[in-house]
Amino acid sequence: MKLLRYGEAGAEKPGLLDAAGQIRDLSAHSTDIAGAVLTPEGLARLAALDPDSLPRVEGTPRLGPCVGAIGKMVCVGLNYADHAAEAGMAIPPEPILFFKATSAICGPNDDIRIPRGAQKTDWEVELGIVIGKPASYVDEARAMEHVAGYCVVNDVSEREFQIERAGQWVKGKSADTFGPTGPWMVTADEIADPQALAMWLEVDGHRYQDGSTATMVYGVRHLVSYISRFMSLQPGDIISTGTPPGVGMGQTPPVFLRAGQQIACGVEGLGTQRQSTIAWDA
């Protein structure tokens, strides 16, 4: 299944994308794509529905983040061997974890606002893991039982805030609109191998990122198990798993986002995002 949320920000309704690419309304069966709906039992109930029996949503409504009420977004740094090489940094001996504030999460096609004073705003297309079953001290052998599905995340980053100023990465990752998520969550049963997905990102039609989840240092199974040792993972939490090479700071010379640009990015089988960049005060 491809589950989504559509409508105005803060008032999104739950939906399903049918085989013809048409949005179907799930409001009669769920209040949101969140929490218990993402558990194995909740997904089984939705999977039993006949999409043709659901109301058709007319037009092209705004898409919100594909998961609602996200408790936390855990991000993984330097998790692609070729990206670490691009950044001139060693492959970490274990996953680097940081958080993106949930207030940064927005719809897949919402505008990205460049923060005041920002000079080095960058892009990162990533595979997002959506947790569906509570996980705490999970063995790798059973880690995939806790995955509800996958989605596209653009881990937008302000590099000066992240790297050149004191403190943790979170302040370079958490400006409002720095977490486009979606367009939909694809349930795990539709993704045969999450470690074999092509991924890409373009700015103004120029392809900067053209990679694959195959070059992840720490794969989905390991990340779910590893993170669950340090914190419980709850239904609706998202793990953003790192980015392949081609980010702006890795260009020669570096290239960063400015207002008035167009971004497109996607992960194989998970859909495409499209954003415009605007000034913070626009």
Is residue 202 domain-shared with residue 241, that is, in the same domain?
yes
Q: How far apart are CA 122 and CA 100, in angstroms?
A: 15
User: Which residue type occupies 107?
Assistant: G
Q: Quote the radius of gyration of the chain (alpha carbons, Å).
A: 18
Q: Give the total number of structural domains in the chain.
A: 2
Q: Is residue 58 part of a domain?
A: no
Report whether pLDDT(282) > 80: no
Q: ∠ at Cα 146 (142, 149), nearest 5°?
A: 125
- What is the CATH classification number for the domain harbouring 162? 3.90.850.10
User: Which residue type occupies 44?
Assistant: A
Is residue 92 domain-shared with residue 124, that is, in the same domain?
yes
Is residue 179 domain-shared with residue 237, that is, in the same domain?
yes
Is residue 199 domain-shared with residue 260, that is, in the same domain?
yes
Q: Residues 5-33: pLDDT tens digits?
A: 999 999 999 999 999 999 999 999 999 99
Residue 82 pLDDT: 83
Is residue 128 domain-shared with residue 24, that is, in the same domain?
no
Q: Is residue 59 part of a domain?
A: no
- Exposure b/e, 6-31, CB count within 10 A at least 16 = b: bbeeeebbbbbbbeeeebbebeeebe
Is residue 214 domain-shared with residue 245, that is, in the same domain?
yes
Which residue in the block uniquely carries the two structure tokens 């890795």?
250
Provide the pLDDT confidence category of residue 89 given band limits of 50, 70 and 90.
Answer: confident
Is residue 152 domain-shared with residue 274, that is, in the same domain?
yes
Q: Is residue 180 part of a domain?
A: yes
Residue 167 pLDDT: 85
Q: Is residue 62 part of a domain?
A: no
Quick count: other Cβ atoms within 10 Å of Cβ 259?
Answer: 15
- What value does the mean pLDDT of the chain take? 97
Q: For residue 260, what is the DSSP state?
A: T
Q: How far apart are CA 243 and CA 125, in angstroms?
A: 6
User: Cα 190 from chain centroid?
Assistant: 17
Q: Is residue 125 part of a domain?
A: yes
Is residue 206 domain-shared with residue 103, that is, in the same domain?
yes
Domain span at residue 89 reads 73-279
- Regarding pTM above 0.75, the answer is yes
Is residue 126 domain-shared with residue 221, that is, in the same domain?
yes
Report whether pLDDT(86) > 90: no
